[in-house]
């Protein structure tokens, strides 16, 4: 059943790509000219999905392992499309081929969001293997100093290459620019709503700790009453009286964090990483917890996606350590994609 849905997504993606190219430019080849490309795309996608076990019924939709393999599959499939288009008919429209791949990625992922939403069972859809690993990491706090040294050795052994950090920075810049361009037109409305919700500054500035213990200023839209202390504890329930009406809505859909795209452009934060913590909390870290500061903090991350504020505070760092020990470009993309349904169908955001 999933395969037939994917076939429909691919056909629609091709029709959208062909129509877009035909509408904005002079007439191109007829639809029948691309028939062989479309048939090849369907067969190649089916084979690629089988290789990476995307159609396995035992894999939770939108689990991290599933999303990483899903992205690898699409990268492999895209390479096959390029090879086929280049070595068969070199007069294929490059714009059509590119838009075909782009629209296919969007529709294939959108279909999985629909499945994820229809099942509406977060416990089933979460990655149980990941939870087991992280639960084991909770025990780190009781390790001896020798074991902590071993843990730091593991961190160094699993440190990504410089190429990963280069691509990660390029992804940060591109993502932050796109985010700012798409959201800036809505800033006047958000500013007006925040001002209408009560007196006080529209944007608050907090000192946070980033990579290697350096401090920086983090920007957020104000969501609490103006008489709330700047470094007050974050809300832990849905009816916190400190949160304004518009602030509750902003926090629910994470719109209060939109100004942090500027922190990403400045290089203080990344799109993906541990959440930036306040200095007085970092000052209380044990030695093993400071490993969390070895990478840039992010706007989104594993903790925000798997449980957000439903998780006990003491488990947050273990999720961040899992990310630090398993950093990869595909994992970053998987976390970004996993963030999308959690923004559309918010849960655990107070």
Question: pLDDT for 304-318, tens place per residue?
Answer: 787 555 554 445 677
For the chain, what is the mean pLDDT? 84
Domain annotation covers residue 263 = yes
In angstroms, the CA 190 to CA 196 distance is 10
Domain check: are 142 and 113 in the same one? no
- The full DSSP string for 210-243 is -GGG-EEEEEEE--B-TTS-TTPPPP-STT-TTB
pTM above 0.75, yes or no: yes
Considering its fold, how many domains does the chain have in total? 2
- The full DSSP string for 302-316 is HHHHHTGGGS-GGGH
pLDDT at 124: 44
Give the pairing type, strands 298-300 and 270-272.
parallel
Domain check: are 175 and 253 in the same one? yes
Share of the chain above pLDDT 70, in %: 83
Structural domain including 214 reads 137-344
Domain check: are 115 and 153 in the same one? no
- pLDDT tens digits, residue range 72-113? 999 999 999 999 998 886 688 888 999 999 999 999 999 988
SS3 (DSSP) at 41: helix
Average pLDDT over residues 15-37: 87
In angstroms, the CA 83 to CA 37 distance is 11
Domain check: are 169 and 100 in the same one? no
- pLDDT tens digits, residue range 33-44? 999 999 999 999
Residue 49 predicted with pLDDT over 80: yes
pLDDT at 320: 85
Give the Cα-Cα-Cα angle 166, 169, 174 (nearest 5 degrees): 125
| Interaxial angle between packed helices 329-344 and 162-183, expressed in degrees from 0 to 180 and rounded to the nearest 10 | 30
Domain check: are 148 and 224 in the same one? yes
Residue 271 predicted with pLDDT over 70: yes
Domain annotation covers residue 219 = yes
Domain check: are 189 and 305 in the same one? yes
Q: What share of the chain is helix, strand, coil (3-state, %, to 5)?
A: 65, 5, 30
Q: How far is CA 165 from CA 172, 320, 328, in A?
A: 10, 17, 9
> Which of 310, 312, 314, 311 minimizes the C-alpha distance to 284?
314
Q: How far is CA 339 from CA 15, 153, 204, 307, in A?
A: 28, 31, 24, 12
pLDDT at 164: 94
CA 236 to chain centre: 23
Contacts 24+ apart (CB under 8 A), 234-239: 234/309, 234/350, 235/309, 235/350, 236/309, 236/350, 237/350, 238/350
| Interaxial angle between packed helices 35-51 and 94-119, expressed in degrees from 0 to 180 and rounded to the nearest 10 | 40
- pLDDT tens digits, residue range 202-226? 999 999 999 999 999 999 999 998 8
Domain check: are 265 and 311 in the same one? yes
Give the pairing type, strands 215-221 and 298-300.
unpaired
Contacts of 229 (CB under 8 A, 6+ apart): none
Residue 129 predicted with pLDDT over 70: no
In angstroms, the CA 241 to CA 225 distance is 9
- The full DSSP string for 121-188 is -HHHHS-HHHHHHHHHHGGGGG--HHHHHHHHHHHHHTPPPHHHHHHHHHHHHHHHHHHHHHHGGGHH
State the DSSP H helix or E strand holding residue 204, giving kind and residue range, or none if neither. strand 203-209
Domain check: are 95 and 150 in the same one? no
SS3 (DSSP) at 348: coil
Which of 106-110, 146-150, 244-248, 269-273 has the weakest average pLDDT? 146-150
Contact 9, 100 (CB under 8 A): no
Domain annotation covers residue 131 = no
Domain check: are 155 and 302 in the same one? yes
Domain check: are 215 and 325 in the same one? yes
Contact 298, 261 (CB under 8 A): no
- pLDDT tens digits, residue range 140-171? 545 555 555 666 666 676 778 889 999 999 99
Domain annotation covers residue 212 = yes
- pLDDT tens digits, residue range 284-304? 887 778 888 989 999 999 877
pLDDT at 290: 85
Domain check: are 197 and 106 in the same one? no
């Amino acid at each position: 059943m999933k395969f037939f849905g994917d076939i429909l997504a691919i056909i629609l993606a091709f029709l959208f790509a062909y129509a877009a190219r035909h509408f904005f430019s002079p007439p191109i080849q007829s639809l029948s000219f691309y028939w062989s490309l479309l048939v090849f795309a369907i067969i190649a996608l089916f084979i690629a999905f089988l290789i990476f076990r995307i159609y396995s019924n035992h894999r939770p939709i939108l689990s991290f392992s599933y999303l990483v393999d899903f992205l690898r599959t699409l990268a492999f499939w895209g390479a096959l499309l390029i090879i086929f288009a280049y070595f068969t008919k070199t007069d294929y429209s490059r714009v059509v081929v590119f838009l075909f791949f782009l629209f296919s990625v969007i529709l294939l992922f959108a279909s999985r969001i629909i499945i994820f939403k229809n099942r509406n069972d977060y416990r089933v859809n979460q990655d149980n293997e990941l939870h087991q690993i992280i639960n084991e990491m909770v025990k780190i706090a009781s390790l001896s100093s020798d074991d902590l040294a071993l843990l730091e050795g593991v961190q160094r052994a699993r440190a990504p290459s410089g190429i990963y950090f280069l691509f990660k920075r390029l992804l940060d810049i591109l993502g932050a620019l796109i985010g700012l361009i798409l959201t800036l037109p809505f800033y006047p409305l958000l500013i007006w709503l925040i001002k209408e919700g009560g007196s006080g500054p529209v944007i608050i500035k907090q000192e946070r700790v980033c990579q290697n213990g350096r401090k920086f200023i983090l920007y957020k839209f104000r969501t609490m009453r103006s008489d709330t202390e700047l470094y007050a504890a974050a809300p832990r329930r849905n009816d916190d009286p400190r949160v304004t009406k518009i602030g509750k809505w902003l926090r629910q859909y994470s719109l209060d964090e939109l100004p942090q795209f500027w922190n990403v452009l400045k290089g203080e934060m990344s799109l993906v990483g541990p959440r930036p913590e306040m200095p007085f909390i970092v000052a209380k870290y044990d030695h093993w917890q400071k490993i969390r500061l070895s990478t840039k903090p992010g706007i989104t991350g594993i903790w925000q996606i798997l449980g957000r504020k439903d998780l006990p505070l003491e488990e947050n760092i273990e999720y961040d350590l899992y990310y630090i020990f398993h950093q990869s470009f595909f994992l970053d993309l998987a976390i970004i994609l996993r963030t999308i349904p959690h923004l559309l169908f918010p849960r655990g955001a107070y």
